[in-house]
């Protein structure tokens, strides 16, 4: 959809539809009051009839309002003014966009953006508006033969702000929002693709395509031969059970000063995880096509940063493989040697994410990173701990952890920190190798991070376990695009461009 920022007199805006807010007990927002005045009280008279009291979820479309240039007005309930939060606001935006997309207007002006929402400023509200609108309009169609579309979809949305002095801030927010939304959509598209289309080679070709469209992006794909030379025995062991060759995708975006240390994002790109010989139960196994969501979030974040032309050096590293049972697959008890030289006893072949990530993390040392963040659908235990509200965060540096948490909070894409205390490391003891790839009963999310921590000693590192946040199950099954909002916010903060 196209977006713009508008200011001026709301009642004289020529538009097919003006969206205005109503709080509970029929209380018009300040902007709606202005329009009410121009209409000589038409809106308040209508509300008195009792068709709408402004509760959340309510909507009322009204036509031919006197003294107003808009062809119609969509009144949207915002609930109690004192209780308005981002969640209520987002659902009001979502409802309005849905209604308009399914009705006649193909263009509208949104007069909800200047409401006051807790501690959020205009920049945040505008970002949320666009992200929520795009979330609502997102439809996966790639593998459907009939691409169902509404007959008159919403094509243009102008965001109205009353204070002209805020135009500049609003335009900046809009630019950021559109870039982030396009990154989120790219991440969703890649994630939703099935495993027979989205293979490691497919992801590699997507990376090359990104590189062709941007001269600041250098893309390099390491093949299995090259990984062998580097000694990536852990990563390659996972791929042995698959007929699809593994790929190590490296995308270097040089937006910052040449010498400035880069941020490295490492994303798990397991395009299908059947568990290997330690095979998973069959229920919901289809959802293991989403085991590359971490990698997809690296793609989406890079795309967003390139769209924003962020002055930062950013490197995406995506180790990509399948994990399948096969005569040549990893077997429980096998011992593999990682690129770092540390040996690993593979007690459970389903704990494969850490095996591909550890070599990608060791590889990342060569970039002398300012910080490394890995993103992975790593443990089912993370869903047990945090459900689908927050991603799990673990880090070897408290300042970095605080930064990541703040970014998530600011972007409405939250993470929650779990401890990485030394005591947990004991759970990885092996009688036959330097470590086991599983930590036994208890604290599965933490012991997975403990495993990774043994490969991240040379840099500041944070780990995001997105097992519970990367996609939704059930009737609304689909990728969420998380944690692209968190990651882009983190990067905006790093270049002092947030707000
Ligand atoms: N990709 C899975 C984790 C996962 C499972 C994410 C379900 C989201 C939903 C990962 O590779 C895995 O299988 N982890 C195992 C680790 C265990 C064997 C220590 C798990 O969580 O069961
Ligand atoms: Mn697994
Ligand atoms: Zn996995």
CATH number at residue 73: 3.40.220.10
Expressed in angstroms and rounded, the spacing between residue 352 Cα and the centre of ligand 2 is 5
| Residue finishing a domain among 162, 189, 210 | 162
Closest atom of ligand 1 to 381 CA is: 21
Ligand nearest the Cα of residue 348 is 1
d(CA 40, CA 457) in angstroms, rounded, equals: 69
| % of the chain at pLDDT higher than 90 | 98
391 sits in which H/E element: strand 391-395
Please give the residue range of the domain that contains residue 203. 181-494
| Residue finishing a domain among 162, 190, 212 | 162
- Mean pLDDT value across residues 293-305: 99
Q: Tell me: do 267 and 327 sit in the same domain.
A: yes
The band of 375, judged by pLDDT with boundaries at 50, 70 and 90, is very high
Q: Tell me: do 212 and 314 sit in the same domain.
A: yes
The band of 382, judged by pLDDT with boundaries at 50, 70 and 90, is very high
CATH assignment at residue 223: 3.40.630.10
Yes or no: say if 32 and 43 are a contact pair by the CB < 8 Å rule.
yes
Q: From 296, 321, 380, 450, give the residue whose CB has the most ligand 1 atoms within 8 Å, as the site to mutate.
A: 380
Yes or no: say if 324 and 415 are a contact pair by the CB < 8 Å rule.
no
Is the pLDDT confidence value at 499 over 90?
A: no
- The whole-number pLDDT of residue 114 equals 87
Nearest to 262 by CA among 271, 253, 275, 270: 253
Q: Is 442 in the pocket of ligand 1 (CB under 6 A)?
A: no
| Within a domain: 167 | no
- Mean pLDDT value across residues 160-180: 96
Expressed in angstroms and rounded, the spacing between residue 351 Cα and the centre of ligand 1 is 6
Q: Is 345 in the pocket of ligand 1 (CB under 6 A)?
A: no
The 10s digit of each residue's pLDDT in 438-469 is 999 999 999 999 999 999 999 999 999 999 99
Q: Report how many domains make up the chain.
A: 2
| Within a domain: 174 | no
Ligand nearest the Cα of residue 378 is 1
- The whole-number pLDDT of residue 348 equals 98
DSSP type of residue 321: E
Q: Is 467 in the pocket of ligand 1 (CB under 6 A)?
A: yes
- The whole-number pLDDT of residue 443 equals 98
Q: From 239, 279, 350, give the residue whose CB has the most ligand 1 atoms within 8 Å, as the site to mutate.
A: 350
192 sits in which H/E element: helix 167-192
Other residues' Cβ atoms within 10 Å of the Cβ of residue 110: 27
Closest atom of ligand 1 to 379 CA is: 21
- Mean pLDDT value across residues 237-262: 98
DSSP type of residue 117: B
Which residue, judged by its Cα, is nearest atom 5 of ligand 1?
380
Q: Tell me: do 297 and 414 sit in the same domain.
A: yes
Expressed in angstroms and rounded, the spacing between residue 271 Cα and the centre of ligand 1 is 14
The 10s digit of each residue's pLDDT in 31-84 is 999 999 999 999 999 999 999 999 999 999 999 999 999 999 999 999 999 999
Q: Is 292 in the pocket of ligand 1 (CB under 6 A)?
A: no
| Within a domain: 428 | yes
Closest atom of ligand 1 to 447 CA is: 19
Alpha helices in 291-412, H assignment, sequence order? 293-308, 353-364, 380-386, 398-411
- Mean pLDDT value across residues 178-190: 98
- The whole-number pLDDT of residue 117 equals 93
Collapsing DSSP to helix, strand or coil, 189 comes out as helix
Q: Tell me: do 235 and 320 sit in the same domain.
A: yes
The 10s digit of each residue's pLDDT in 116-137 is 998 888 999 999 999 999 999 9
- Mean pLDDT value across residues 329-334: 98
- The whole-number pLDDT of residue 120 equals 82
Q: From 351, 424, 437, give the residue whose CB has the most ligand 1 atoms within 8 Å, as the site to mutate.
A: 351
- The whole-number pLDDT of residue 134 equals 98
Q: Is 353 in the pocket of ligand 1 (CB under 6 A)?
A: yes
Ligand nearest the Cα of residue 276 is 2
| Within a domain: 168 | no
pTM exceeds 0.75: yes
Yes or no: say if 310 and 254 are a contact pair by the CB < 8 Å rule.
no
Expressed in angstroms and rounded, the spacing between residue 342 Cα and the centre of ligand 1 is 22
Other residues' Cβ atoms within 10 Å of the Cβ of residue 37: 15
Ligand nearest the Cα of residue 275 is 2
| Within a domain: 309 | yes
Expressed in angstroms and rounded, the spacing between residue 163 Cα and the centre of ligand 2 is 52
Is the pLDDT confidence value at 169 over 80?
A: yes
The band of 161, judged by pLDDT with boundaries at 50, 70 and 90, is very high
Q: Tell me: do 153 and 226 sit in the same domain.
A: no
d(CA 207, CA 390) in angstroms, rounded, equals: 28
Expressed in angstroms and rounded, the spacing between residue 377 Cα and the centre of ligand 2 is 9
- The whole-number pLDDT of residue 451 equals 99
- Mean pLDDT value across residues 186-199: 98
Q: Tell me: do 104 and 239 sit in the same domain.
A: no
- Mean pLDDT value across residues 243-251: 99
- Mean pLDDT value across residues 244-254: 99
DSSP type of residue 282: S
Active site residues per annotation: 280, 354
- The whole-number pLDDT of residue 28 equals 97
- The whole-number pLDDT of residue 498 equals 85
Q: Tell me: do 105 and 189 sit in the same domain.
A: no
Collapsing DSSP to helix, strand or coil, 76 comes out as strand
């Amino acid at each position: 959809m196209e977006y713009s920022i508008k200011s001026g007199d709301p009642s004289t805006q020529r538009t097919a539809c003006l969206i205005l807010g109503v709080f509970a007990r029929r209380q018009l927002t300040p902007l709606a009051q202005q329009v009410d005045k121009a209409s000589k009280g038409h809106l308040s008279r209508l509300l008195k009839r009792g068709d709408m009291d402004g509760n959340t979820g309510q909507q009322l479309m009204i036509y031919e309002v006197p003294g107003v240039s808009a062809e119609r007005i969509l009144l949207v309930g915002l609930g109690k003014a004192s209780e308005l939060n981002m969640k209520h606001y987002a659902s009001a935006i979502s409802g309005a966009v849905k209604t308009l997309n399914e009705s006649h207007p193909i263009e509208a002006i949104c007069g909800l953006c200047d409401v006051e929402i807790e501690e959020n400023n205009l920049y945040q509200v505008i970002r949320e508006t666009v992200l929520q609108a795009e979330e609502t309009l997102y439809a996966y169609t790639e593998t459907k033969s009939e691409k169902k579309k509404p007959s008159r979809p919403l094509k243009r949305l102008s965001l109205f702000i009353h204070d002209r002095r805020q135009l500049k801030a609003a335009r900046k927010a809009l630019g950021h929002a559109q870039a982030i939304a396009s990154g989120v959509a790219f991440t969703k598209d890649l994630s939703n693709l099935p495993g027979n289309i989205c293979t490691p080679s497919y992801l590699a070709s997507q990376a090359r395509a990104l590189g062709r469209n941007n001269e600041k992006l250098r893309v390099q794909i390491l093949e299995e031969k090259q990984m062998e030379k580097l000694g990536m025995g852990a990563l390659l062991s996972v791929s042995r059970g698959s007929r699809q060759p593994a790929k190590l995708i490296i995308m270097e975006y040089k937006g910052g000063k040449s010498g400035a240390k880069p941020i490295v994002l490492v994303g798990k790109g397991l395009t299908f995880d059947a568990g290997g010989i330690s095979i998973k139960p069959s229920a919901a196994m289809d959802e293991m096509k989403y085991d590359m969501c971490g990698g997809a979030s690296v793609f989406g974040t890079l795309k967003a940063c390139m769209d924003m032309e962020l002055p930062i050096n950013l490197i995406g590293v995506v180790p990509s493989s399948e994990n399948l049972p096969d005569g040549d697959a990893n077997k429980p008890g096998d011992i593999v040697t990682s690129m770092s030289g540390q040996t690993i006893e593979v007690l459970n072949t389903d704990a494969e994410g850490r095996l591909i990530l550890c070599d990608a993390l060791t590889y990342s040392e060569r970039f002398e990173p300012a910080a490394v963040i890995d993103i992975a659908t790593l443990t089912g235990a993370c869903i047990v701990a945090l459900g689908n509200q927050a991603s799990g965060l673990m880090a070897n540096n408290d300042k970095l952890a605080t930064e990541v948490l703040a970014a998530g909070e600011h972007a409405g894409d939250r993470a929650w920190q779990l401890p990485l205390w030394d005591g947990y490391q004991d759970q990885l003891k092996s009688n036959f190798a330097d470590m086991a790839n599983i930590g036994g009963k208890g604290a599965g999310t933490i012991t997975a991070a403990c495993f990774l921590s043994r490969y991240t000693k040379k840099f500041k590192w944070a780990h995001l376990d997105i097992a519970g946040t990367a996609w939704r199950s059930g009737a609304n099954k689909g990728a969420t695009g998380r944690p692209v909002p968190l990651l882009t916010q983190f990067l905006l903060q790093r270049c002092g461009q947030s707000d």
